[in-house]
Amino acid sequence: MNDLKYCQGPSCHQYTTQDRLKGIKGSKTFQTRRRSSLYYGNENFCDQRCLYDWVNKYIEQGLDHFGRTTKAKHLTEQNAWIKDYDYNYRNEGNEKTNYRSVNRVTKEQRPLTEAQYNDINYTLNTGE
């Protein structure tokens, strides 16, 4: 039971679906959805409506808190690296091969190990 997570949507309990109707017979109430897996908003919301309810309620506070974009950012050599790979369709299982970093500005490619590809902190980018 500890693995169940509540939807973080501020109005989840306001949506009167049968699966939200819980409790003892005679005193049932519509309640916030609780699931072992939530699929929206980094696994915090039961559906898109609840995700956008949260966004609409908190977006101004969030932008004020974390800082707004006030001037254009630029894609440059220093921040243009992305990771890519090819599928090897000849083998069963469609193995991924040829892991590489690709610079979208210079078109330069550099090989990556599978571990580097899977490491979300590994990047050649040196700027935002």
Closest approach of Zn ion to the CB of residue 31, in Å: 10
Contacts of 32 (CB under 8 A, 6+ apart): 6, 7, 9, 12, 13, 20
Residue number, 50 or 80, with CB nearest to Zn ion: 50
Bridge partners of 103, per DSSP, are: 81
Closest approach of Zn ion to the CB of residue 24, in Å: 22
Q: Residue 21: is it exposed, middle or buried by C-beta count within 10 angstroms (0-12/13-18/19+)?
A: exposed
Residue number, 32 or 103, with CB nearest to Zn ion: 32
Closest approach of Zn ion to the CB of residue 30, in Å: 11
Binding site for Zn ion (CB under 5 A): 7, 9, 12, 33, 46, 50
Closest approach of Zn ion to the CB of residue 50, in Å: 3
Residue number, 4 or 82, with CB nearest to Zn ion: 4
Contacts of 13 (CB under 8 A, 6+ apart): 20, 29, 30, 31, 32
**Alpha carbons 28 and 16: distance in angstroms, whole number:** 12
Residue number, 52 or 117, with CB nearest to Zn ion: 52
